A and B are shown apart, each in its own frame.
Chain A
Amino acid sequence: MSTARKHGESHSISKEVIVQNKLGIHARPSAMFVKTASRFECDIFVAKDGEEVNGKSIMGLMMLAAGPGCKLLVRAEGVDALKAIEELESLLRRKFDED
């Protein structure tokens, strides 16, 4: 891991996503998001209306109260940022396997 960090290139990627599941990002989706995010080494942040929280914190995500239709800006910084953004975006697109 540490060698990857040394040699790998650090990325900073942002992507806008829209909350599509019926109930918005409530407890269960927050947990899923955080679980997915925590698998990656990069730092992940989620912003809504200019308020940014740590994407690996359940309480932070829940605090955003991102209801259906909300625009979120997901930002990842680190070697695996690209992959992280891809997976998180897919999670939102899949509506957290909920609806």
Chain B
Amino acid sequence: MQRDVVTVEKFYTANETPLDLNLVAGANGLKRIIREPTVNRPGLALAGFTRYFASKRVQVIGNAESHFLKSLPAGQRAARYKALFGHKIPCFVFSRQHRPDKLFLKLAEEANIPIFTSSLITMKFINLATLSLEMMFAPRGTELGSMVDILGVGVIIRGESGIGKSESVLALIERGYSLVADDVTKVTLVDGRDVMGTSSDLTRDHMEVRGIGIVNVAAMFGVRSIRHEKKVDLIVTLKLWDQVPDVDRLGMEDQYVRILGVDVTHVTIPVRPGRDLARLIEVAAFQAKLKASGYNPASELNQRLIAKMTGDKTL
């Protein structure tokens, strides 16, 4: 599991358009690191109370802060600015198109702290920026395997190379399901509980088919055959028949694999020549969907059987 280092530059590049960010000063400080995935309104710090100041966060100056600063006598304002810039702050954002005054800009340049303006109202900015930062700070990793969205069930298909992953994926696409990632799936932990899968930006919509080469899935099968990201609901491992000593014949108890600390349902499908793997993976996905809705066919059948054997007529 890894966590990316989030620099101000990264935050800026990802959010320049959605947050309408304009860099107005401190460009030299773009490599500064944002250490906490949220924003802070430095009202109390501006008022002179700098204990507990959450200086590691993106600092947002909204309407109230802006007008408060204007209300201060020039000397006091300068002193507060100096105190503020004494902290290691990643960056400042002035929302609602407020402009920092000349002194603020000058101090920011000297301290190499980037200053942005944004046209968004403060509340909206804080919401969007927090969501975006959460995503940037989310634990992430890569899973070896292709990912397909089968009727709303996100399935990562794993298995040794040459076992038939790509063929299965192609067959699933032909059946109308969509490709999320080929061969390598990037996973991100969202809200500490859902694992989201996506492909790398570079290889998105493409897959490699042995003997044919690189295929553009969207161009070949249409736009419905691709999907940008999807929650991972099921892992299917394809394994050669003789390498599966203990095939689960009932499916009564779920098996799991841990991805980014979250348990994801796991099934192993034994592979033998002539098996329609795509069909099996499809059924595994439907089964997972049924089970997620609280229905376990094996348990239900078993209860009926036990009732019959023990003479209980109520079931």
Partner of B252 from the list A27, A34, A35 (CB cut-off 8 Å) is A27
- The reply to whether A27 and B301 contact each other, CB–CB distance below 8 Å, is yes
Within 8 A of A (CB), among B272-308: 298-299, 301-302, 305-306, 308
Q: With A27-B298, A62-B305 given, is the CB distance from A67 to B310 under 8 Å?
A: yes
| A-side interface residues, number (CB < 8 Å) | 16
- The reply to whether A26 and B309 contact each other, CB–CB distance below 8 Å, is yes
Chain A's closest residue to B310 (CB) is: A67
Is B74 close to A, CB under 8 A? no
Partner of B249 from the list A23, A24, A25, A31 (CB cut-off 8 Å) is A31
Q: Which residues on B sit within 8 Å (CB–CB) of A68?
A: 309-310
- The reply to whether B306 and A35 contact each other, CB–CB distance below 8 Å, is no
Is B250 close to A, CB under 8 A? yes
- The reply to whether B250 and A58 contact each other, CB–CB distance below 8 Å, is yes
Q: Which residues on A sit within 8 Å (CB–CB) of B246?
A: 35
Partner of A26 from the list B249, B302, B311 (CB cut-off 8 Å) is B302
- The reply to whether B250 and A26 contact each other, CB–CB distance below 8 Å, is no
Is A28 close to B, CB under 8 A? yes
Q: With A23-B310, A67-B310 given, is the CB distance from A28 to B305 under 8 Å?
A: no
Q: Which residues on B sit within 8 Å (CB–CB) of A35?
A: 246, 249
Is A13 close to B, CB under 8 A? no
- The reply to whether A24 and B306 contact each other, CB–CB distance below 8 Å, is yes
Return the CB mask of A56-85 against B: 1 if under 8 Å, else 0.
Answer: 001000100111100000000000000000
- The reply to whether A26 and B252 contact each other, CB–CB distance below 8 Å, is no
Report how far A67 CA is from B309 CA in the complex, Å: 4
Report how far A66 CA is from B306 CA in the complex, Å: 9
Q: Which residues on B sit within 8 Å (CB–CB) of A65?
A: 305, 308-309
- The reply to whether A27 and B310 contact each other, CB–CB distance below 8 Å, is no
Report how far A26 CA is from B305 CA in the complex, Å: 6
- The reply to whether B309 and A58 contact each other, CB–CB distance below 8 Å, is no
Chain A's closest residue to B299 (CB) is: A27
- The reply to whether A24 and B298 contact each other, CB–CB distance below 8 Å, is no
Report how far A67 CA is from B249 CA in the complex, Å: 21
Chain B's closest residue to A66 (CB) is: B309
B120 to chain A, nearest CB (A): 58
Chain B's closest residue to A61 (CB) is: B305
Chain B's closest residue to A57 (CB) is: B249
Return the CB mask of A33-59 against B: 1 if under 8 Å, else 0.
Answer: 011000000000000000000000010
Chain B's closest residue to A24 (CB) is: B309
Report how far A26 CA is from B301 CA in the complex, Å: 9
Report how far A58 CA is from B248 CA in the complex, Å: 11
- The reply to whether B250 and A28 contact each other, CB–CB distance below 8 Å, is yes
Q: Which residues on A sit within 8 Å (CB–CB) of B299?
A: 27
Q: Which residues on A sit within 8 Å (CB–CB) of B305?
A: 24, 26-27, 62, 65
Interface pairs (30), CB distance under 8 Å: A23-B309, A23-B310, A24-B305, A24-B306, A24-B309, A24-B310, A25-B309, A26-B302, A26-B309, A27-B250, A27-B252, A27-B299, A27-B301, A27-B302, A27-B305, A28-B252, A28-B302, A31-B250, A34-B249, A58-B249, A58-B250, A62-B301, A62-B302, A62-B305, A65-B305, A65-B308, A67-B308, A67-B309, A68-B309, A68-B310
Given contacts A24-B309, A27-B299, A62-B302, 20 further A-B contacts (CB under 8 A): A23-B306, A23-B309, A23-B310, A24-B310, A26-B302, A26-B305, A26-B306, A27-B252, A27-B298, A27-B301, A31-B249, A35-B246, A58-B249, A58-B250, A65-B305, A65-B308, A65-B309, A66-B309, A67-B308, A68-B310
Q: Closest 5 interchain pairs by CB?
A: A67-B309, A24-B309, A27-B302, A31-B249, A65-B308
